[in-house]
Structure 1
Amino acid sequence: MKQANTIEEVIQFLDEIIETSKQEQSAIGLFTALYREVTYKIRDGIANGLFQDGPRMEKLDVIFANRYLDAYYQYQKNEKPSGCWEFSFQKTEIFWPIVVQHLLLGINAHVNLDLGIASARVSTVENIETLKSDFDQINTILSDLVANVEKALTKIWPAMTIVLKVLGKIDNIVIDFSMKTARDGAWKFANEFVALPEHQREATIQERDVKITEVARLISNPGYFVSSAFKFIRLFERGTVSKKIIYLEEIE
């Protein structure tokens, strides 16, 4: 399986997944396109001195990305990745999930499970607190992307702006989930995970994975009213899967 050693290799491998997804009309490329945009921003932030410790941030980014790459290639080989990633990938093979759900399923697996592990892997119990400032800088990056994510989603379904008045702004959905809830949880998990002896870590990852997979089930089936609204949105989403991926690639 492919493993990245630098942030440029991360982008290269994400590019490959996106192009394959376009060719195969696979919804896997939806989250991957968003993730690549975040990776661009982190790469540029490192280059521009946004982070206190750029080399550590690149190391974290690479470890973080390799967990996604591992899950993706395992799934492609009919091997079993983490349960939350398996659930996310399985949902890309059916018609009903809307683009927002695909994005949230990817965010759920990658942030709630992978980010805490990656943060712990570049830290020790003694120095993990020095990572907090750079960890929080990613919140700023995500905030800057939210408005453009909303623009991309309204291109896919122009009437979404009307529905959002009922369901709540998409920026609230994305910010609340990916930043406030998931990222706070990821930081808490990182602090717990870094303190564990190596022989306990795999069992802890598996326990965490079970919990995060349950969150994925809630994203996939958020109750009768919201699910009904999502199905209505899905029936009128515009474009092929590859076109939707292109809309997300246009985020800046």
Structure 2
Amino acid sequence: MSGTTGRVDAVIARMRRLDAALPARDGVAVFNRVYLAVTETVDRRIDAGEFRDPLAAVTLDVRFAERYLDAVGTAARGGRPPACWRPLFQFRRHPGVRPLQFALCGINAHIGHDLALAVVDVCRALGCEPVDVEDEFDRVGDLLVSLEERIREDLMPGPGLLRIADPLTHLLGSWSLERARDAGWAAARALWALRPLPDVARDFTERLDAVVGFAGRMLLTPLPD
């Protein structure tokens, strides 16, 4: 397992380089800091023996992170990343978008789209079924949900700015990481079941990408000061 563990270190190193290179207010940098903290925490818990199947947990962690890093690399080369990531790259420097919006947009793309595909990647790599990695999926998902509250606390504007009719309050109430995680698991199971129908699976993946991208675009609605 040492080679796969080394790949965890490699993706963490790539995220740390991004953190050092990007301006703090850049939308990708905001999400990257959140995701780096999550990945480091998952890595520590794997090392502490908190996952039933360490190989599955490490493989999921790596395949999941690589999809985000691939999107960053594609955008940096002037390419066209998946639709779910495009809003974050397009609006990353918009002065009317708050840091919390950037963080949630990235989480939405990663959980809503990338996680389902990463589960399929893991099952192909390890020759197993989604049910065999459900425990690892749930543990990673539980960690993300537990961190969501801290993310909101760290990036939320002062309480005086949050009124029931405030646009940011409305946006935050319209999206749930837990619901996105549940949808991601359902999408992973559907994609696995669609393996005998590659055309249908490809169409399903494209539609999933587009829907998650639409939600991300709404999360980045510019707000007045």
Q: 1:147: how far off?
A: 4.3
| 1:37 is the counterpart of 2:41 | no
Q: Is the 8 A contact 1:146 1:175 kept in 2?
A: no
Aligned to 1:190: 188
Percent identical: 24
1:231 partnered with 2:224: yes
The answer to whether the 8 A contact 1:121-1:194 is kept is no
Partners of 1:93 and 1:138 in 2: how far apart? 30
Task: Tell me which residue corresponds to 1:239.
Answer: none
User: In the aligned structure 2, how far is the partner of 1:140 from the partner of 1:91?
Assistant: 29
Task: Note if contact 2:99-2:155 (Cα within 8 Å) is conserved in structure 1.
Answer: yes
Q: TM-score, length-normalised on structure 1?
A: 0.75
How many residues are treated as equivalent by the alignment? 215
Q: Deviations over 1:187-244 (max 9, x none)?
A: 00000011222733433322211111121222123xxxxx6xx423xxxxxxxxxxxx
Distance (whole Å) between structure 2 residues aligned to residue 37 and residue 174 of structure 1: 24
Deviation at 1:57, TM superposition (A): 0.9
Mapped partners of 2:176, 2:128: distance in 1: 29
| CA distance in structure 1 between the aligned counterparts of 2:105 and 2:7, rounded to whole angstroms | 26
The change in CA–CA distance for 1:210 and 1:144 in structure 2 (over 3 A counts) is closer
SS in 2 for 1:83: coil
Q: Quick check: 160-169 or 30-39, which moved more?
A: 160-169
* CA RMSD after TM alignment: 2.8
2:131 corresponds in structure 1 to 129
| 2:9 matched residue in structure 1 | 8
**Does structure 1 residue 85 correspond to structure 2 residue 78?**
no
Query: Structure 1 residues 5 and 66 mapped into 2: Cα distance closer, same or farther (>3 Å)?
Result: farther
State the shift of 1:174 in Å. 8.5
Deviates more, 1:106-115 or 1:204-213: 204-213
* 1:55-134 map, 5 Å: 55-123=55-123, 127-134=129-136
The answer on whether the counterparts of 2:27 and 2:92 sit within 8 Å (CA) in structure 1 is yes
Residues 151 and 217 of structure 1: is their aligned pair in 2 closer, same or farther, counting only changes over 3 Å? closer
User: Which amino acid in the other structure matches residue 182 of structure 1?
Assistant: A
Q: In the alignment, does 2:160 pair up with 1:162?
A: yes
Asked if structure 2 preserves the Cα contact closer than 8 Å seen for 1:5 and 1:62, the reply is no
Alignment match, 1:236: none
Partner deviation per Cα, 1:148-170 (whole Å, 9 max, x = no partner): 3244225xx4xx22334636998
Paired letter, 1:190: A
Q: More deviation in 6-15 or 115-124?
A: 115-124
CA distance in 1, matches of 2:46, 2:120: 20
Is 1:178 the equivalent of 2:171?
no
AA aligned to 2:27 is A
Instruction: Provide the TM-score with structure 2 as the length reference.
Output: 0.84
Q: Which amino acid aligns with 2:115?
A: L
Q: Partner of 2:51: helix, strand, or coil?
A: coil
SS in 1 for 2:49: coil
Structure 2 match to 1:138:
140
